[in-house]
A and B are shown apart, each in its own frame.
Chain A
Amino acid sequence: MSLNDVSIMQNVKKQVRWKLSSYSSVFLTIIVVQIIASLLFLNGTGQMSSGNDELRVEIRSYSLDSMLMFSMITVFIISSMLASKHMMEENFSIVTTRLTASISTIVAQLIICVITTCTALSSFYIFTLIMRLNNSEEQFLVQTAVEVETLFLFFSLLVVLSAAGFFVGSFLQMNRWIIAIIGVGVIIGLFIYLVPSYETISSQDEEAIAANTRVWLTSLKCLGISAVIYAVTIYIRNQQEVSRR
């Protein structure tokens, strides 16, 4: 018999690796969902027009909106599944404590969010290229460069939904009805809180700066809220009884 001192960091690292390889199929699921989202929105995610009878310009736009919506829902469901009783019991198949199990699940979720952001962008570019090649007679205005704040916002929104999924999944282990109501209430509250506020903006430059700042602020707000949800979820999971198998 031997006793080894294993630090929390090492334990978490080991578990994250184990979790990601055990649940690697979630990445395939995410890609399949993103492909479906791309196929459903092949006709564009929005439309706008400008002009009068003399000259009318109609724009069919393709943005990351559909990809974001589908990815957020997928991440939410996957995160709540990762917090399920079955998954929690599986956590104890390797050396772990409740704390390290929760932290490693959160880290795994963050990695899932990063990869989801990357695959979402890939899906967007692959399908827009296919669409462009298929509709060579139509006119295109292509802006390929993605802004850092857009990527960060995409990731932050995924993290919020991931945290919310983890929270709901963990709470569902307790009194289901009360918990489901609290969970839904918290999520609705978060979305109301996340709606950006509008200020009076004088010039166009100020407007652009304010818009970028608001995007960054919204992202940071999302991450802040996610941190709070994760902390509450860890606390709740630590209060739960140890299951015997």
Chain B
Amino acid sequence: MNTILWISFITTVCIVVVVIWLARKLLANVKIWTPKRVGVFITAYIVAGVTAMIVLATMEQDVVILAEEELNTISEGAHAFREALNKAAYNELDEQYIKQSLVYEMQGDTLTLDIVSEEKFYDIIIERNRDPEVREVVVKYYETPHVRLGMDVSSYMEQPIMQLENDIFYMKPFGNVEIKYNQINPTIQIADHLVANESFQRDSFGMRILYLNVPADVHIINSSGIYIR
């Protein structure tokens, strides 16, 4: 046990001792608390607790923890998506994860990617189209569900703003997302650090992928003019 825990423990003991001592002193002189009244008070307190529980249960939830099955389905889909990426099988990428897409006819032979950002929070995949007849650039933005601590937080994710004109592709960088919430859970966490938290820690995933299919003869440069491919 570290020092803070010892201090908290001793403080708690002191508080309890003081409360018990005060209660004994006060209740010895106050005669209104007969056993019958104490019984009524305890019953009323428990009824108030039950009522509070019912009210809490009927209140709308701000965040929902995913059920095991739902979480497994999402996790499997995300896993299959990652597998396809690892194998470079881009035609196998699940289309349900496409959030935005663009198709653009190239005018020249150089495509500028104006997506400079130190923390872009997504991976870029560029695939070359070897068909000399095709002059099209296909852009697809994929986003798998973002799950953190067992919750689907995809709705908090910022959606991209993409433009492709005059052979310049622009994508606005994403900002940081910070979600804070209060979890009310009638469990004994100090006694069972075992139960749910470990699985919650594992249940954190989510990917953002920017996929570009560019004709093989088109040069790709960044906004500073540096050749990429």
Where the two chains meet, the residues of A that have a C-beta atom closer than 8 Å to any C-beta of B are 20-22, 24-25, 27-29, 31-33, 36, 40, 44-46, 48, 50-51, 53-65, 68-70, 73-74, 77-78, 81, 115, 118-119, 121-126, 128-129, 131-132, 135, 138-147, 150, 153-154, 157, 196, 198, 204, 207-208, 210-212, 214-215, 218
Contacts and interface: CB of A to CB of B under 8 A. Distances in A.
A139 B153 CA distance: 13
A32 B19 contact: yes
Given A57-B153, A78-B20, A121-B49, A142 B35 contact: no
A19 B189 CA distance: 34
Looking at B15, B17, B42, B52, which has the most chain A CB atoms within 10 Å of its CB?
Answer: B52
Nearest to B174: A54
A68 B188 CA distance: 8
| Binding site secondary structure of chain B | mixed
Interface of B: 9, 12-13, 15-17, 19-20, 23-24, 27, 33-35, 38-39, 41-42, 45-46, 48-50, 52-53, 55-57, 59, 61-65, 119, 121, 146, 148-149, 151, 153, 156-157, 174, 176-192, 194-202, 204, 206
Contacts of B62: 139-141
B194 A64 contact: no
A119 B41 CA distance: 11
A144 to B, nearest CB: 4
A219 B185 CA distance: 20
A139 B60 CA distance: 10
Nearest to A118: B46
A61 B189 contact: yes
A122 B50 contact: yes
A132 B61 CA distance: 11
A129 B41 CA distance: 20
Given A24-B35, A28-B38, A33-B16, A150 B188 contact: yes
Contacts of B192: 153, 196, 211, 214-215
A63 B206 contact: no
A27 B38 contact: yes
A212 B174 CA distance: 42
A26 B73 CA distance: 52
Contacts of A214: 192, 194
A237 to B, nearest CB: 23
A119 B53 contact: no
B189 A144 contact: no
A57 B65 CA distance: 13
Contacts of A78: 20
Contact of B49 (A32, A122, A211): A122
